[in-house]
């Protein structure tokens, strides 16, 4: 409790020091809080000359790696943030001090249940790289392979848990202060962060992601994914092949290696669309630090991807939505874009399509004032999401990851080759994918997919056929019985209709006899009135005895 209190006080101090009070809607606060906060904020006057996005970035850096990671994830929510704030947060560098090598060794030995000397022929206690969640050491297996060992930071889960609790408290405070605070959806942002960072704490999950991505690109000329050594991997430790390549952001080194930059940029786009539309499983953290280039064949360079902690996936409905929206956008069919949003259920069914179409046109049409090669796919998605949010669209988490990845790929591609025309590369891919979804090839794929399930039912087919025939037989018997009952009822109704006048006359006779006769006298016929007695007999005959 004391630790949490000190942490909260430090956060408050940082907010005041960097003048983050500009994010606080003072107009809705009581007067005494306005004056108190204004006085305290005076300690941060020297930072006031910087723009608020830069101050926010510096504040997160001063609070440590967990908040740096939060800022990195927040920078991807351009559907919520102003562009200048998102741009500043994108500058956050996840470079933090390493923890001691002997601590890393103890974690490895605890999780893998063996001394480091038994596990590895060589192990470097000096980390190769260090980040907010884990750090990496180089090693060599006894079988001779060079590997890297990724180790989760000690006690990081407890630190993250405390910081997330504080972030939730701050998020609820911001959301409750004003409508602008609610518009930023701070609680939703913290929830996304919690989900993402907790995934990064489980290296067993990252190893599984790496293995699947590797299988998807087996023997591919586009992308290489390092091998995972499963016997040496655990929740807190992961061992994988050590790769060699040029960091993708090192443009000078790539140029010196005579890499075909146009081919490299276009291959990056092809990898992205292959992952999204062919595999439905894409690397969602493809910033430059996680991408290297194999330049052994500089005219056909190959990408190398590491760090598969954050992955995204799209179902068929998501892919269809995305492909059709992008194609409709570049055909300027804004009516189709609006209808697709309503059809998908991501905006309410009652949304006026005409108004929605007009709003989309006002956002997207100015983009076509630029050359097609300069139009940003990422900005297209951001514009669509921001517009749809005004019509109560709930942003889908998988699309947020997709948007972030697309922005990274697009920015990287144009850094490598400024004249990259993303649409030239993407349009044939999207059109081909749409054709495949509707053609005979897709039908055959569905048949092949269902074949094992059908094969499993083959031994049961005789019983199923016998059961079906038995049911048909019983159904015929029931149908015949029902038909006979209906015919009988029809005859009765027909008879009833035929005898209705007689029944009515009989009822009238009985009623008349009852009115004019003393019922007691009927026990003594000699005393009964003959007229009444005659009416009584006639009524009984007509009602009961006449067929």
Distance separating alpha carbons of residues 116 and 151, to the nearest angstrom:
13
Tell me the three state secondary structure of residue 536. Answer: helix
Q: What is the DSSP string of 232-281?
A: G--SSEEEEE----EETT-HHHHHHTT--HHHHHHHHHHHHHIIIIIIS-
Backbone angles phi, psi at 2, to 5 degrees: -65, -40
> Is 134 annotated as belonging to a binding site?
yes
> Is 207 annotated as belonging to a binding site?
no
Q: What pLDDT is attached to residue 517?
A: 53
Query: What contacts 24+ positions apart, CB below 8 Å, involve 105-111?
Result: 107/151, 107/152, 107/154, 107/236, 107/237, 108/149, 108/151, 108/237, 111/234, 111/235, 111/236, 111/237
Q: Are strands 302-305 and 223-224 parallel, antiparallel or unpaired?
A: parallel
> Is 479 annotated as belonging to a binding site?
no
> Is 135 annotated as belonging to a binding site?
yes
> Token pair for residue 496?
């009833």
Please indicate, yes or no, whether residues 368 and 402 belong to a single structural domain of this protein. yes
Please indicate, yes or no, whether residues 22 and 69 belong to a single structural domain of this protein. yes
> Is 132 annotated as belonging to a binding site?
yes
Please indicate, yes or no, whether residues 110 and 17 belong to a single structural domain of this protein. no
Contact 280, 314 (CB under 8 A): yes
Please indicate, yes or no, whether residues 484 and 525 belong to a single structural domain of this protein. no
Please indicate, yes or no, whether residues 231 and 332 belong to a single structural domain of this protein. no
Please indicate, yes or no, whether residues 218 and 160 belong to a single structural domain of this protein. yes
Q: What pLDDT is attached to residue 376?
A: 75
Residue in 192, 285, 307, 421 annotated catalytic: 285
DSSP state of 291: E
Please indicate, yes or no, whether residues 24 and 88 belong to a single structural domain of this protein. yes
> Is 116 annotated as belonging to a binding site?
no
Please indicate, yes or no, whether residues 101 and 237 belong to a single structural domain of this protein. yes
> Is 133 annotated as belonging to a binding site?
yes
CB burial readout 477-495, b (16+ within 10 A) else e? eeeeeeeeeeeeeeeeeee
Q: Is residue 399 part of a domain?
A: yes
Cα distances (Å, whole numbers) of residue 301 to 222, 290, 338: 8, 16, 40
Contact 293, 302 (CB under 8 A): yes
Residue 13 belongs to domain spanning = 1-93
Phi and psi based region of residue 280 (left: phi greater than 0; alpha: psi -120 to 50; beta: remaining): left
Q: What is the pTM of this model?
A: 0.68
Of 93, 120, 141, which residue constitutes the final position of a domain? 93
The structure tokens 């159904």 sit at: 475
Q: What pLDDT is attached to residue 56?
A: 87
Contact 291, 456 (CB under 8 A): no
Q: Is residue 75 part of a domain?
A: yes
Q: What pLDDT is attached to residue 526?
A: 43
Q: Is residue 450 part of a domain?
A: no
How many domains, the chain? Answer: 5
> Token pair for residue 547?
């067929």
Q: Is residue 288 part of a domain?
A: no
Q: What pLDDT is attached to residue 514?
A: 58
The structure tokens 């894409």 sit at: 282
Please indicate, yes or no, whether residues 370 and 478 belong to a single structural domain of this protein. no
Distance separating alpha carbons of residues 540 and 425, to the nearest angstrom:
96
Backbone angles phi, psi at 198, to 5 degrees: -70, -35
Q: What pLDDT is attached to residue 365?
A: 83
> Is 130 annotated as belonging to a binding site?
yes
Contact 323, 434 (CB under 8 A): yes
> Is 509 annotated as belonging to a binding site?
no
The structure tokens 């108190």 sit at: 36
Cα distances (Å, whole numbers) of residue 532 to 45, 516, 543: 117, 7, 17
Tell me whether residue 285 is one of the annotated catalytic residues. yes
> Token pair for residue 485?
């009952």
Q: Is residue 253 part of a domain?
A: no
What would the 3-class secondary structure string for 179-235 be?
Answer: HHHHHCCHHHHHHHHHHHHHHHCCHHHHHHHHHHHHHHCCCCCCEECCCECHHHCCC
Select from 272, 250, 265 the least CA-distant residue to 421: 265
Backbone angles phi, psi at 94, to 5 degrees: -85, 60
Please indicate, yes or no, whether residues 50 and 107 belong to a single structural domain of this protein. no
Please indicate, yes or no, whether residues 46 and 80 belong to a single structural domain of this protein. yes
How many of the other CB atoms lie within 10 Å of CB of 161? 11
Please indicate, yes or no, whether residues 71 and 39 belong to a single structural domain of this protein. yes
> Is 495 annotated as belonging to a binding site?
no
Q: What pLDDT is attached to residue 438?
A: 63
Contact 480, 491 (CB under 8 A): no
CA atoms within 13 A on the CB side of 270: 15
Q: Is residue 35 part of a domain?
A: yes
The structure tokens 């809705």 sit at: 28
One pLDDT digit (tens) per residue for the chain, 547 residues: 556 667 777 777 787 788 776 766 666 565 556 666 666 666 555 455 568 888 888 888 888 777 887 787 677 666 567 778 877 887 776 667 889 999 999 999 999 999 999 999 999 999 998 888 899 999 999 999 999 999 999 988 888 888 888 888 878 877 776 665 565 667 877 887 787 788 888 999 999 999 999 999 999 999 999 999 999 999 999 999 999 999 998 999 999 999 999 999 999 989 998 998 889 899 988 777 789 999 999 999 999 999 998 888 888 888 887 888 888 887 889 899 888 888 877 778 888 889 989 988 888 888 777 776 777 777 777 777 777 777 877 656 667 777 778 877 888 888 888 888 777 778 788 888 877 776 555 556 655 655 566 555 556 656 656 665 666 666 666 656 656 665 665 565 455 445 556 556 666 665 666 555 544 444 444 444 556 556 666 666 655 555 5
Cα distances (Å, whole numbers) of residue 26 to 11, 38, 52, 177, 272: 19, 9, 16, 9, 44
CA atoms within 13 A on the CB side of 219: 0
How many of the other CB atoms lie within 10 Å of CB of 83? 11
Q: Is residue 393 part of a domain?
A: yes
> Token pair for residue 360?
């989309």
Q: Is residue 166 part of a domain?
A: yes
Q: What pLDDT is attached to residue 520?
A: 42
């Amino acid at each position: 409790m004391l630790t949490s209190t000190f942490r909260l006080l430090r956060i408050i101090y940082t907010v005041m020091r960097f003048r983050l009070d500009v994010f606080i809607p003072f107009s809705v606060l009581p007067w005494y809080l306005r004056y108190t906060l204004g006085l305290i904020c005076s300690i941060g006057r020297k930072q006031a000359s910087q723009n608020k996005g830069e101050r926010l970035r510096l504040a997160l850096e001063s609070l440590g790696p967990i908040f740096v990671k939060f800022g990195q994830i927040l920078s991807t929510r351009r559907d919520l943030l102003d562009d200048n704030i998102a741009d500043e947060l994108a500058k956050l560098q996840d470079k933090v001090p390493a923890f001691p090598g002997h601590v890393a060794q103890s974690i490895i030995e605890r999780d893998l249940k063996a001394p480091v000397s038994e596990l590895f022929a060589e192990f470097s206690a000096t980390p190769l790289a260090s980040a907010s969640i884990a750090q990496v050491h180089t090693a060599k297996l006894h079988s001779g392979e060079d590997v890297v060992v990724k180790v989760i930071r000690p006690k990081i889960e407890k630190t993250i848990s405390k910081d997330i609790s504080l972030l939730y408290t701050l998020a609820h405070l911001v959301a409750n202060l004003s409508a602008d605070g609610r518009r930023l959806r701070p609680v939703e942002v913290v929830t996304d962060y919690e989900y993402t960072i907790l995934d990064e704490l489980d290296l067993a999950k990252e190893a599984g992601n790496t293995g699947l991505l590797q299988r998807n690109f087996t023997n591919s000329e586009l992308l290489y994914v390092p091998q995972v050594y499963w016997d040496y991997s655990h929740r807190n430790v992961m061992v994988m092949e050590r790769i060699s390549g040029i960091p993708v952001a090192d443009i000078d080194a790539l140029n010196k290696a005579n890499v075909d930059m146009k081919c490299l940029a276009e291959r990056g786009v092809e990898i992205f669309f292959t992952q999204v539309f062919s595999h439905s499983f894409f690397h969602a953290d493809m910033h430059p630090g996680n991408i290297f280039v194999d330049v052994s064949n500089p005219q056909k360079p190959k990408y190398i991807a590491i760090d598969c902690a954050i992955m995204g996936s799209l179902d068929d409905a998501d892919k269809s939505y995305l492909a059709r929206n992008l194609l409709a956008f570049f055909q300027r069919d804004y009516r189709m874009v609006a209808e697709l949003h309503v059809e998908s259920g991501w905006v309410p069914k009652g949304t006026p399509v005409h108004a929605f179409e007009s709003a989309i046109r006002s956002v997207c049409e100015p983009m076509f004032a630029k050359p097609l090669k300069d139009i940003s796919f990422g900005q297209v998605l951001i514009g669509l999401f921001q517009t749809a949010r005004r019509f109560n669209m709930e942003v889908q988490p998988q699309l947020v990851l997709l948007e972030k990845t697309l922005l990274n790929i697009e920015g990287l591609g144009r850094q490598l080759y400024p004249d990259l025309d993303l649409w030239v590369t993407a349009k044939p891919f999207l059109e081909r994918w749409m054709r495949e979804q509707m053609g005979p090839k897709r039908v055959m794929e569905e048949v092949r997919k269902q074949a094992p399930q059908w094969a499993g039912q083959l031994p049961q087919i005789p019983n199923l056929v016998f059961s079906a025939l038995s049911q048909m037989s019983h159904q015929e018997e029931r149908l015949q019985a029902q038909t006979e009952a209906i015919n009988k009822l029809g005859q009765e109704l027909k008879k009833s209709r035929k005898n209705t006048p007689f029944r009515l006359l009989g009822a009238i006779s009985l009623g008349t006899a009852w009115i004019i006769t003393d019922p007691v006298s009927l026990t003594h016929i000699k005393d009964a009135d003959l007229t009444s007695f005659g009416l009584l007999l006639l009524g009984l005959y007509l009602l009961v005895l006449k067929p």
